[in-house]
Amino acid sequence: MVPPSSTSLSQAETPSRPVKPLWVALGFVLCAIGFVGLVLPGFPGTVWFVLAAASFARGDPRWEAWLLSRPVIGQLVQDYRDGKGMPLRAKWFACICIAVAVSFSLGRIPVLVGQVGWVLVGLFGIYYICLRVPTKR
């Protein structure tokens, strides 16, 4: 028997056997949302695939390998994991989508404090993408 201190993952990070199918199911749900994001303009897909890969990694590494072997999706997830960031064109597109989404939804928020809060959330998203996410060359 291996002592707990010598294992690579802590007990909190290793899902129990009955929970693993739930991680796989969550991975498929996140993949479905990611595929919708690939089809719909202005809806991000990569973030959902990154989350799906993380779910598959906890549930069944074979599904994670399947996702990473997809031609476009696998490269996007791997670039994120490697810290390579986003292409400049994708950064511009993401920032424009945030600005459009915030501006179109402002009129639906009846309270000024909510509108200001929503603008701040959008500005934080743009700040994060522009200054915190590396630009892939």
Q: What is the pLDDT of residues 38-70, one digit of tens each?
A: 887 667 778 889 899 999 999 999 999 999 999
Q: State residue 16's pLDDT score.
A: 67
Within-domain flag for 126: yes
Instruction: Answer yes or no: are the C-beta atoms of 34 and 53 closer than 8 Å.
Output: no
Q: Could you tell me if 101 and 61 lie in one domain?
A: no
Which of 60, 81, 102 marks a domain boundary?
81
Structural domain of residue 43, as residue ranges? 16-81
25-33: long-range pairs with CB below 8 Å, 24+ = 25/59, 26/52, 26/55, 26/59, 27/52, 27/53, 27/55, 27/56, 27/59, 27/63, 27/64, 27/67, 28/52, 30/55, 31/67
Q: Could you tell me if 29 and 68 lie in one domain?
A: yes
Within-domain flag for 9: no
* Residue written as token pair 């509108």: 115
Average pLDDT over residues 118-126: 92
**How far apart, in whole angstroms, are the C-alpha atoms of residue 7 and residue 2?**
7
**Longest alpha-carbon distance in the chain:** 62
Instruction: Give me the chain's average pLDDT, please.
Output: 84
Within-domain flag for 1: no
Average pLDDT over residues 67-81: 89
